[in-house]
């Protein structure tokens, strides 16, 4: 022990204040626990500071610019539309600040203590927290680890001035002339599209045979078509091999469908996945069980192999999503408070804020087929929905998958404008065990995009109104 090291005894210690950690802290406080949160960076974690929120703010700003330029098809002429990217970034930062400030106020209101610094486990019930030159110890009854994840670095593309991770790509001060994106997953597609809408010449290199692997090809095809329409070059089966720095940028070499190609860029954005922040916490030293890839092994309550320590969010296997982290945070807090909560992952929506948006919940038609289920599908096009056409959004479809015999809703896939919001109704339907008939008999307001859920249910039942039943 360093001379002067001070030990504080706390009840529940949460490490990391991202959407997993801060939600867990609030829930534990609501249940009467005294909670202390250690955070080495900013409140809100990746999601609020360098993830979900700033990316969606930039997506919105870039769409606004795009829509203004395209307004003449509705008879509205807008002249001299231009972008002051510095101001776009300022506005984005204001949104982030408002939200992280909100977490601070919630902590205060719930009497949650915040300790700035980096935590390292020294035993099963104690951590050291390093904050500059100061080191303090915290002894806890229960701990929730929510330290999140960081971008994976490719050895041939070390992060630096010209090679960006998503964090730097969100904070660029200029709009790149040429941007190469390595990785066509959701982060690459979202950020690549932002800069394409702002005027960058964007090239996407994706190793597998479709962008957004994991989503059905009939959905991702629409996104790829729109990307190409916006002059984004999309290369699938494209493996980035290396790069050479030039005076003003880089030249990326990639093998595209077996052929070597070179791409000039002023920036390269590498988004090939994320790895859990579990390697610098001293977890193996205290005997915690991790998977080979460094994810913490937990049970249905988030309890690790050390009974008084829980783990949630991106450091636990499953989709690296903010809403999964928050959900697990609530379950872990409730478990610590003695409640019989347990995770049930049947309803974790997945959303990509691409153009058009993509969302999915429950099982897809492909999965229903693979599982040998007897199922029905209702696939309703945006083009047959009045609201969609009146807001110039007639591209895409809603697909409901249900059990053939009982009509119980099993899943939905949506591609089209507002897919991110529309999916919520089907998430609730699956959670409630609703049937196609329940959705069909629910009066949906007209004219709304939401009516498409009712129409898709009618289609699956064989009596659609606004399309012919073939």
Ligand X SMILES: Cc1cc2nc3c(=O)[nH]c(=O)nc-3n(C[C@H](O)[C@H](O)[C@H](O)COP(=O)(O)OP(=O)(O)OC[C@H]3O[C@@H](n4cnc5c(N)ncnc54)[C@H](O)[C@@H]3O)c2cc1C
Beta strands in 223-318 (DSSP E): 233-235, 238-245, 250-256, 259-265, 267-270, 274-276, 309-311
Select the residue whose beta carbon is closest to ligand X and give its number: 148
* Per annotation, catalytic residue among 142, 446, 463, 466: 446
- Which is nearer to ligand X, 360 or 385 (by Cβ)? 360
The two tokens of residue 227 are: 């990307």
Select the residue interacting with ligand X from 8, 11, 41, 393 (CB under 6 A): 41
Q: Which residues contact 117 (CB under 8 A, 6 or more apart)?
A: 38, 39, 40, 129, 130, 131, 134, 136
Omega before residue 113 within 30° of 0, cis: no
Residue 317-346 contact track with ligand X, rule CB under 6 A, x = bound: ---xxxx-x---------------------
Please state the closest distance from residue 386 (CB atom) to ligand X, in A: 29
Dist. CA 54–CA 49, nearest whole Å: 7
Measured at the CA of 359, the angle between CA 358 and CA 365, to 5 degrees, comes to 105
Instruction: Verify binding: residue 183, ligand X, rule CB under 6 A.
Output: no
Q: Which residues contact 39 (CB under 8 A, 6 or more apart)?
A: 16, 17, 21, 114, 115, 116, 117
Kindly indicate which of the ranges 44-52, 61-69, 72-80, 134-142 contains the residues binding ligand X, using the contact rule CB under 6 A: 44-52
Residue 360: phi, psi to the nearest 5? Answer: -155, 145
Please state the closest distance from residue 38 (CB atom) to ligand X, in A: 5
Select the residue interacting with ligand X from 45, 176, 184, 396 (CB under 6 A): 45
Please state the closest distance from residue 56 (CB atom) to ligand X, in A: 6
- Is 446 designated active site? yes
What DSSP element (H or E) covers 154?
A: none
Dist. CA 227–CA 66, nearest whole Å: 13
Instruction: Verify binding: residue 314, ligand X, rule CB under 6 A.
Output: yes
The two tokens of residue 239 are: 């493996």
Instruction: Verify binding: residue 275, ligand X, rule CB under 6 A.
Output: no
Residue 69-108 contact track with ligand X, rule CB under 6 A, x = bound: ----------------------------------------
- Which is nearer to ligand X, 314 or 440 (by Cβ)? 314
Residue 1-40 contact track with ligand X, rule CB under 6 A, x = bound: --------------xxxxxxx----------------xxx
| Catalytically active residues, by annotation | 446
Per CB under 6 A, residues contacting ligand X are: 15-21, 38-41, 45-47, 51-52, 55, 118-119, 146-149, 166, 187, 277, 281, 313-314, 320-323, 325
């Amino acid at each position: 022990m360093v001379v002067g090291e001070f030990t504080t005894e706390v009840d529940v210690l949460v490490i990391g204040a991202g959407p997993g950690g801060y939600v867990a802290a609030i829930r534990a406080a609501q249940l009467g626990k005294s909670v202390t949160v250690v955070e080495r960076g900013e409140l809100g974690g990746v999601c609020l500071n360098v993830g979900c929120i700033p990316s969606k703010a930039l997506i919105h700003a870039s769409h606004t610019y795009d829509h203004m330029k395209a307004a003449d098809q509705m008879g509205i002429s807008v002249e001299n539309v231009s972008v002051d990217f510095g101001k776009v970034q300022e506005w984005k930062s204001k949104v982030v600040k408002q939200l992280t400030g909100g977490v601070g106020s919630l902590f205060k209101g719930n009497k949650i203590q915040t300790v700035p610094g980096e935590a390292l486990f020294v035993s099963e019930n104690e951590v050291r927290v390093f904050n500059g030159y100061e080191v303090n110890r915290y002894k806890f009854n229960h701990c929730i680890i929510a330290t999140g994840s960081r971008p994976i670095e490719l050895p041939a593309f070390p992060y630096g001035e010209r090679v960006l991770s998503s964090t730097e790509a969100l904070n660029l001060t200029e709009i790149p002339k040429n941007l190469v994106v390595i990785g066509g997953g959701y982060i690459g597609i979202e950020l690549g599209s932002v800069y394409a809408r702002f005027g960058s010449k964007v090239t996407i290199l994706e190793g597998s045979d479709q962008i957004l692997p994991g989503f059905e090809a009939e959905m991702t095809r629409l996104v790829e078509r729109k990307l190409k329409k916006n002059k984004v070059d999309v290369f699938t089966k494209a493996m980035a091999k290396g790069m050479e720095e030039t005076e003003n940028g880089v030249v990326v070499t990639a093998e595209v469908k077996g052929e070597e190609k070179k791409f000039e860029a002023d920036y390269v954005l590498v988004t090939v996945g994320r790895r859990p922040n579990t390697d610098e916490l001293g977890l193996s030293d205290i005997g915690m069980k991790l998977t080979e890839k460094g994810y913490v092994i937990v049970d249905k309550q988030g309890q690790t192999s050390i009974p008084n320590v829980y783990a949630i969010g991106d450091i636990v296997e499953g989709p690296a999503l903010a809403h999964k982290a928050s959900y697990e945070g609530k379950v872990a807090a409730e478990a610590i408070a003695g409640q019989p909560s347990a995770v049930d992952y049947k309803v974790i929506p997945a959303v990509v804020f691409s153009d058009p948006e993509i969302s999915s919940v429950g099982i897809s038609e492909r999965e229903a087929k693979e599982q040998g289920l007897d199922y029905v599908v209702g696939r309703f096009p945006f083009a047959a929905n009045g609201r969609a056409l009146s807001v110039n959004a007639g591209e895409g479809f809603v697909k409901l998958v249900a059990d053939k015999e009982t009509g119980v809703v099993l899943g939905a896939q949506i591609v089209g404008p507002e897919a991110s919001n529309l999916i919520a109704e089907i998430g609730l339907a699956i959670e409630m065990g609703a049937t196609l008939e329940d959705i069909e008999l629910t009066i949906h307001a007209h004219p709304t995009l939401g009516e498409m859920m009712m129409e898709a249910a009618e289609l699956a039942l064989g009596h659609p109104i606004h399309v012919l039943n073939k």
